[in-house]
Structure 1
Amino acid sequence: MFILELTYTAPLERVDALLPAHLAWLERHYADGTFLASGRKVPRDGGVILAVAPDRAAVEAVAATDPFVPAGVVAYRITEFVATTVAPALAAHRETLPG
């Protein structure tokens, strides 16, 4: 499982101009099962996405397609973790530690 932390690198006006395209991108990845949760950080200096992917390269490839990236308004920090304990709603995403 992955935590994608977005930090805005441009004024909010530039971010907001791209928000419709970013939201459409989020919806595509919710539909394909990659994204589990997302939202704005407080204070609003970026966002967070909880994602599942086969490996880090796959999630990095998805992040690179965010319309915010080519526009240069965001920096991504990706953290991988092993979700060994999950809420019942996320049971399908429970992982086991490597042996």
Structure 2
Amino acid sequence: MLYHYGCGMFMVTVTYTASVDVVDRFRPAHGDWLKQLISQRLLLVAGRQIPLTGGVYLASEMSTEDLSRLLATDPYVLNDVATHSVVEFTPLMVAAGLEDLKGQ
């Protein structure tokens, strides 16, 4: 369950629950899902963990309910090969050029 404590962004970690060989079967659909969400600015960043045990996303400000619904549509989750863990945070300091993320 996600709890919302105010205006913030979300860091989402993805943990594979199946072998990479099994996860790879769903990687194209997962990639399309990520591209769509990034084009809509629902996700701001997405990448792989090193070593390859999952991934990490930065999600823009939204309700926890909307984030839960969004993450439930991940092809990895739909095919039971990964889980998500969510941390909400408020960006207080940002690098030059990312000021629009501050205090979302």
TM-score by length of 2: 0.87
Q: 1:6 aligns with which of 11, 14, 23?
A: 14
Aligned partner of residue 30 in structure 2, secondary structure: helix
1:90 equivalent in structure 2: 98
Q: Percent identity?
A: 34
Give the conservation status (yes or no) of the 8 Å contact 1:56–1:80. no
**Deviation for aligned residue 1:58:** 1.4
Aligned partner of residue 77 in structure 2, secondary structure: coil
Asked if 1:74 corresponds to 2:78, the answer is no
Q: 2:26 aligns with which of 13, 18, 41?
A: 18
Q: Which amino acid aligns with 1:21?
A: A
1:59 equivalent in structure 2: 67
When residues 89 and 36 of structure 1 are mapped into structure 2, their CA distance, relative to the original with a 3 A threshold, is farther
- In terms of mean alpha carbon deviation, does 17-26 or 87-96 score higher? 87-96
Aligned Cα root-mean-square deviation (Å):
1.2
Aligned partner of residue 85 in structure 1, secondary structure: coil
Q: Which amino acid aligns with 2:35?
A: E
Within a 5 Å distance, the mapping from 1:40-59 to structure 2 comes to 40-59=48-67
**Deviation for aligned residue 1:90:** 2.0
Structure 2 unpaired stretches of 5+: 1-8
**Deviation for aligned residue 1:79:** 0.6
2:47 equivalent in structure 1: 39
**Deviation for aligned residue 1:41:** 0.5
